[in-house]
Structure 1
């Protein structure tokens, strides 16, 4: 699977590359960014442990790279970071004028309904095509791989990790949609992508997955949630994840941060904690 490098930047001693490759899952070209730490300079040591970051609604492969301030923290641990786009894009790819459906809003599921099914296969893309591409093209260690994300991407990180403990050794999230079965964003997106049968949604709901016995292999799930987040009560509901974890005896740590909202200002404030936490497990 050939990876085309579109742009290269030096930052925090490491190297950031913006890339494009053809995805068999989505049937489209897909973009991602990959940052490798300073230790990779001049063909140095590797392969490196790495984190996959999944972004939220309306985001691309660029938001995390420019706003999160993550790379200085990752450089301390020699950890690489991969950040894919949030959906397929381009001519012939279905879309919706709303911000929370269609391009930029793939929800990390494999759509079964028209007009989304031909291209919106983001679960398969993240778990197969993306990992195969970066593992082949860069000095990354697939045995030491974690995943984290924000909002819709926090939902994606949680559900993908819970279903694939063999692929990911650690998982955390910022302001995740913990239960699409129980919020308006989830109701809209999963109805569109997966159809009206709510039983089919359980595979893409972190709380339901934990209730159904997923989660073994993870010693802890870390979540940071801002208390000034305007989506907290209606869309995010972190208490549901805590309740599911308590019932299943899975450690779920939700850190509620006073005064912080849903933005990348919040993420940038605590990204170092998450990278430290993942590095200890990778």
Structure 2
């Protein structure tokens, strides 16, 4: 959970019921912050690997939309029968410069999976194991000057929260072979021409067979949509299966889905 004077970012995983926190959060900001009106709300998630394991209201996107229908317009981004993302939003026209980059990766390479299991050298310290993984995988090099809090779970799994001045990045890894998954998200601003470098750094660390990228960017009169679109066009060793530009009121969202080329082995 990242808390700012004017916004709150809450990320969860597994079978947690994120939307169920909304009513209580609204009570808290009303009582303690004298906030009676929410400026904008964003809710998004990747299509579930195991939707049958989710709890209400997360069993179905229609249920999630109904839960927050009074605030949100709903979108399905990407192919319905393939990897895709769901997005809800409630937004007013006024906005600050904003950018969020999210990389969702599945079917990680065997070599990658092994790195996210507890080792004897980690002893009983999840924090010590997390620090080891930061160093051995190169995750610490994504933002070398950031404040990083990483944790290695027992017997496997990894989570990390990073802060760089007023911005954040977040990493979560589930390394089990039958459902290996890694996510990376940041609102640390990147010029469009530098976004491919960041994506390459991340996918080179995790070596996924498939990955999805979304770049959510403030739409201003000076926005160059061609640069935004080209920022997720091509990555060595992968074939782009989907690329879509969505234009919202004040924002652009570019979505891309990639799969490893059949003749490229990791």
**Scaled by the length of structure 2, what TM-score is found?**
0.28
**Scaled by the length of structure 1, what TM-score is found?**
0.27
Greater percentage in helix: 1
Q: Which has the larger radius of gyration?
A: 2
